[in-house]
Structure 1
């Protein structure tokens, strides 16, 4: 598996999960794990996704998810699992 982490943060609204998942599905990226919560109207979500069958590289996926995030009014981050793990050690 080629894993990546997708993080989403912003004001809660209808369609955030659908919008992000739609981009992933379009590129054959499988959601392996997902956690989401809403605290005082602030939406946060973390997904672990498998890119091993994706038809795009992580840079292109990041661009498209960031664009979708702008459309939805949320911030989106996409990190290769190794980069994410390294960031957590700092």
Structure 2
């Protein structure tokens, strides 16, 4: 299973540490990551994966809830969607 995760919010300390810790606790590995500050907003995009089958709806709910507590918006999408778009 491979996913694309995006994180956007007002920049503050601890976002990368918090999100990466949460992703690890959910059994995902960060394969690639990019982050930047645009004006005063933090943006991060990552590719994460798991060798084990994961409940995608549960992952989405966990990350959205965690993001709210951290003050950022976290979105997760299956990488299979992007693969399918390029095979049409």
Secondary structure, aligned partner of 2:4: strand
In structure 2, the residue matched to 1:45 is 44
Does the C-alpha gap of structure 1 residues 19 and 87 become closer, same or farther in structure 2, counting only changes over 3 Å? farther
Number of residue-to-residue matches in the alignment: 87
Question: 2: CA distance between counterparts of 1:84 and 1:67?
Answer: 25
Per the normalisation by structure 1, the TM-score is 0.84
Q: Deviation at 1:39?
A: 1.4
Question: 1: CA distance between counterparts of 2:50 and 2:78?
Answer: 10
Deviations along 1:57-86, whole A, 9 cap, x unmatched? 221111111111101111110000022455
Q: Are 2:60 and 1:70 equivalent residues in the alignment?
A: no
Does the C-alpha gap of structure 1 residues 45 and 87 become closer, same or farther in structure 2, counting only changes over 3 Å? farther
In structure 1, the residue matched to 2:3 is 4
Secondary structure, aligned partner of 1:71: helix
Per the normalisation by structure 2, the TM-score is 0.86
Secondary structure, aligned partner of 1:28: coil
Q: What runs of 5+ residues in structure 2 fail to find an aligned partner?
A: none
Q: Are 2:12 and 1:21 equivalent residues in the alignment?
A: no
Q: What runs of 5+ residues in structure 1 fail to find an aligned partner?
A: none
